[in-house]
Each structure stands twice: as structure tokens, then as C-alpha cells.
Amino acid sequence: MAQLLFFYLAGVIVLTAILVVGLRNPIYSVLSLLIMFFHVAGLYVSLHAEFLAAVQIIVYAGAILVLYLFVVMLLNVKREDRYHYQFPIGALLGVAILTEAVVLAIQRGYSEDVVPSPPTSELSFTGNTEAIGESLFTTYLLPFEIASLILLVAMIGAIILAKKDILTR
């Protein structure tokens, strides 16, 4: 059952991801991206990462997708403006990397013992979100604070690049 669920979610993710780059109408690409985000969220749920699933929906499906839509509408991309010359090279590289991944999977042989230790038993008593909060504000405090600096740079960078009409007095 768990395997079945995984293969359904993973299959849809791969399919919609291909559609995102393959579809000719950018709006359809964005919509298939939406389906992909929801299935990724489903994958997180099946891994008991509920918080990540919620984040996936709120941030990716909620905010980032809106940004994508704005960009698509901003650029007003017509169907013809696509760059498909790189397709053969891309296919070649894709096949090479896929072969690599398959070789990897075969060598690995799906042995169970290499799976990293499952989430600590602590998790079953307290919630998922709490556990994330605990490690985010202790062990991973520095990356967390750096993240706020990254957001600051992103905010100011976006204003600098997008705001055309402000004159420096």
C-alpha cells in the first residue's frame, strides 16, 4: 500500500514536471506545476512530514506559483517564443543521467539497511511541527538567522531590479 502510494505520487510528480517544461502554453505549465506541488505535498504527508507538506502548499502552491503566474503575464509569452533547439542535447544528457541513476539503484539493490535512521522516537510523542521548531531554534539557529538576511537581500534586490521609476534624490 505504501509502495503503491509512493509510485502514484512519484509518477504524477515526474509526469507533471515533464509537462511543465514540455507544454507550449506557459499558463498550462504553471497549472501542471500546481498539480506537481500538491503531489509533492502528498509525498511529504506519506513520509509523516506534515509541517513540510503544509509549507509546500502555503509557500509553493500559494505564493510562489502566484509569482510565476505574474511573471508569465508580465512577459506575456506567446506560444511561439519557445527555445527548443537544445532538445537533442538535453535528451542526451538526460538519458546519461538517467542511466547513471539506474546503475546507482541497481548497485544499491534497495537494501533496507542503508536507509538513514528514521525520525527519533521523540517525534511520535510530540508533534512534527514542534520537533522542527526545536531543531530550527537550537541546532540550526545560524542557518535560520541567515535565512532572514537572505530574505532581506531578496526583498531589496527585487525592489532595485523591478522598481524602474524611483529617482535617487
Partner 1 sequence: MKFTLTMSGADLLLLLPEILLTTWLCVVLAVDFVWPQLRKDRLAYLSVGGLAVVLVTLFWFDLAGISGTLFKHMFVVDRLAIFFKILIVGTTLLVILASMDYVRRFRFFRGEYYFLVLMSALGMMFMSSANDLLSVFITVEFSTFGFYVLVAYLRQDLASNEAGLKFFILGIFAAGLLAYGISLVYGETGKIVFSDIASASATPGLVIGFLLIFAALGFKIGAVPFHAWIPDTYHGAPTPITAFLSIAPKVAAFAILLRMLFVSLATFKPAWVVLLVAVSILSMTYGNIVAIAQRNIKRLLAYSGIAQIGNVLIGLAAGTKMGSDAMLFYLLTYLFANLGAFAVVIAVGNVIRSDEIEDYSGLNRRSPFLAFAMLVFLLSLAGVPPLAGFIGKIYIFLAAIDEGLYTLIVVGLINVVIALYYYLVIVKKMYINEPVDPSPLRISGPMTAVVYVGLAGTIILGIYPRPFIDWVVGATLMFSNLVGPTASVLPPTVLPFGG
Partner 2 sequence: MANEAVPLNYIPILLFMAIVVAFAVISLLIGSIARPSHPYPAKLTPYESGSPLFSDARVPFPMRYYIIAMLFVIFDIEFVFLFPWAVGFKQLGLLGLLEMGLFIGILLVGYWYAWKKGALEWE
Q: Which is nearer to partner 1, 1 or 133 (CB)?
A: 133
Helix (H) or strand (E) holding 52: helix 50-55
Q: Does 160 bind partner 1 (CB under 8 A)?
A: yes
Give the one residue of 21, 22, 137, 143 binding partner 2; rule: CB under 8 A.
137
- Burial of 51 from C-beta contacts in 10 A (0-12 / 13-18 / 19+): middle
Q: Name the grid cell of 57.
A: 502548499
Q: Does 10 bind partner 2 (CB under 8 A)?
A: no
Q: Does 162 bind partner 2 (CB under 8 A)?
A: yes
Q: Does 62 bind partner 2 (CB under 8 A)?
A: yes
Angle between helical axes of 26-46 and 65-75 (0-180°, round to 10): 170
Q: Does 139 bind partner 1 (CB under 8 A)?
A: yes
**Distance from C-alpha of 16 to C-alpha of 29, rounded to nearest angstrom:** 9
DSSP string, 106-140: HHHTT-GGGSPPPSPTHHHHS-HHHHHHHHHTTTT
Site pattern 103..132 for partner 1 (x: CB under 8 A): xx--xx-----x-xx----x---x---xx-
**DSSP letter assigned to residue 114:** G
Q: Does 164 bind partner 2 (CB under 8 A)?
A: yes
φ, ψ (nearest 5 deg) of residue 78: -85, 160
CB of 144 to partner 2, least distance (A): 7
Which residues of this protein are in contact with partner 1, per CB under 8 A? 100, 103-104, 107-108, 114, 116-117, 122, 126, 130-131, 134, 137-143, 146-147, 149-150, 152-154, 156-157, 160-161, 163-164, 166-169
